[in-house]
Structure 1
């Protein structure tokens, strides 16, 4: 019960509080408050602070992050490249150099913060808590399903979105499970979000896109299948490449509220 309450507090805080604040400085401050909040809740439910939910700087953490970022970024670029080739997307032009700086900052910073906090809640907190209580297969299944349903905050609810998020959740959860820290997971999440953000901007803020593109509305069997084929192909690749990742070790760099 404490674990469920803790999850609800973290999830509702992140998805409701910052977006209700119109001032960007207040939004940023409220986002930073998430980390001490997560620390105390993790302690309350018996986990070791932020360290206990995967926020550790172990040997190889940066390599894990960069590998995963590359996977997410490249697979999503391939997806969009196929859509350009198939006529679902049309390139209109570039923004003026003076108009690009702020959108790039918004995409890089906004999606990094959003990715790592979402991963700390779903994989770091929820999956870690579940695997201590139930069999690992059930922990995988429940955390991936919760992730798919939780994506309602960003994409709305539909069966296709749930299926997409379940397939994507396989890569995210597996990367977290095999490495023992958040970085391999967040790298994938951040990489695909950056690829998305360059073309479409932040969710709900298309003006933050770097390139100017147009969705034509033209659909084919291939374009509809990409929604599932790309995350599935990425999962197969992650399954094979995970052997080259570094596993979490207990010698870590201290971070605020780490435990």
Structure 2
């Protein structure tokens, strides 16, 4: 009898082979980033942990097949500094507008300004700590996922996915109200659209950084508060609405900002993967 020909086993798609590494790498980096929210550490150790994220992400990115920090969206390109600065000023200005409106509408009363020495320390802390916090978050939730999944999912799906994960990921460190979820969703959408528009993370990091610095200058890091010595007045339901309205306005204005940004000419997070 003639032998029955053997059935050729189809090869596994390269992406399917990388998928476990993608998930394992994401979980590792996410758990690492959230350690300071679970275990209280001194400020210097906090900064060290966040700074050490970058070499860790570089190694994890290479092992998972995404590439190093440059491929994850941090490669310098023509106009990268401009994108970073534009994003910073843009969001800082909108957050300043939000706080000014809340003051004008009676959400708090200003009783003075912190001493100059305290202001200098607070400003330095806000600039450095919030840059690390913003950049690490963008590398993980946007650069890492876009780099791995571009070519397999559309840009629209990736924007929706990374925005949703941005909201969910904050459940580690805060009890989300519906208003918080909407606010974070608007922010996540801004940051992801910035990546789609420019092909790198610099504009997204600038937006994230500027908003966070303005927030820290307003609220501070400790019980001493921010730049202004404030007395919070009775909270009204519309206070949260003011913040959401300003954030929605910033999202709409972002499309005007895009006209002044520079797109990366290099291979970036949106390039297809095999």
Cα distance change on mapping 1:56 and 1:207 into 2, 3 Å: farther
Distance in 2 (alpha carbons) for counterparts of 1:37 and 1:82: 41
Pairwise mapping of residues 55-204 of structure 1 onto structure 2 (< 5 A)?
55-202=74-221
Contact 1:19 1:27 in 2 (8 A): no
Contact 2:25 2:64 in 1 (8 A): yes
SS in 2 for 1:49: coil
**1:218 alignment counterpart:** 235
**1:248 alignment counterpart:** 264
Distance in 2 (alpha carbons) for counterparts of 1:122 and 1:61: 20
Distance in 1 (alpha carbons) for counterparts of 2:105 and 2:225: 25
Q: Gapped runs of 5+ residues in structure 1?
A: 253-259
1:236 matches 2:256? no
User: How many residue pairs end up in the alignment?
Assistant: 249
Contact 2:37 2:172 in 1 (8 A): no
How far 1:73 sits from its partner (Å)? 0.5
How far 1:207 sits from its partner (Å)? 2.9
Distance in 1 (alpha carbons) for counterparts of 2:108 and 2:235: 8
Cα distance change on mapping 1:156 and 1:210 into 2, 3 Å: same
**2:9 alignment counterpart:** none
**2:71 alignment counterpart:** 52
Cα distance change on mapping 1:199 and 1:206 into 2, 3 Å: farther
TM-score (norm 2): 0.84
Contact 1:89 1:216 in 2 (8 A): yes
* Structure of larger gyration radius: 2
**1:209 alignment counterpart:** 226
TM-score (norm 1): 0.89
**1:257 alignment counterpart:** none
Distance in 2 (alpha carbons) for counterparts of 1:169 and 1:92: 34
How far 1:220 sits from its partner (Å)? 5.0
How far 1:114 sits from its partner (Å)? 0.5
The alignment yields a C-alpha RMSD, in angstroms, of 2.0
